[in-house]
Structure 1
């Protein structure tokens, strides 16, 4: 009986970590949101898709606190560096093309620690 109760509490603890509201932003979340933008960012299409812009808006929504903004920035920077053919001008224009005011730049060279 004690083992069963302990197992239930362990499972609940793990679930609370996974679905903790207001928790830290993960690169998995940021990457998933921005995957639809890859074809635009690499120059294969001339404008971002609706799904891409939805992802940009989602990232903006994730980046509420300074810590979240810096985490998103680090994730975006890491993702940008994985794509050798990423077009810097497309990356810089993405938020504007999607009609989103971003506090997190999409850049390979930004210093994320300077974001407030």
Structure 2
């Protein structure tokens, strides 16, 4: 019985560390979330539902100021990889997806100023 209790406590502690909120956001996560948006960002028109889900996902992952700054830098790096990215489409993306974002999608944003 004592071993079972210890095992349960160990499993609960492991779950706590695996599901910790506030884990650092990565550029891989941001890139994967924005990948469905590339056709919209380079050609204009309207973003797909998958693209908007990616924008919502980034908003959900970037909860802390540090996460927001990291996500901003990742978005900025991704934007700079596409020479044919339409800046007006990028800036309009959150609004077109009905998402209030604290992270601008732009090549020129100073990400250190994001809180």
TM-score by length of 1: 0.81
Equivalent-residue separation in structure 2 for 1:92 and 1:34 (angstroms): 13
Equivalent-residue separation in structure 2 for 1:98 and 1:56 (angstroms): 8
Residue in 2 aligned with 1:25? 25
C-alpha RMSD over aligned residues:
1.7
Moved over 6 A (4+): none
Number of aligned residue pairs:
100
Counterparts in 2 of 1:41-60, with a 5 A limit? 41-43=41-43, 45-60=44-59
TM-score by length of 2: 0.82
> Which ranges of structure 1 fall in alignment gaps of 5 or more residues?
1-16
Residue in 2 aligned with 1:73? 72
Equivalent-residue separation in structure 2 for 1:20 and 1:99 (angstroms): 28
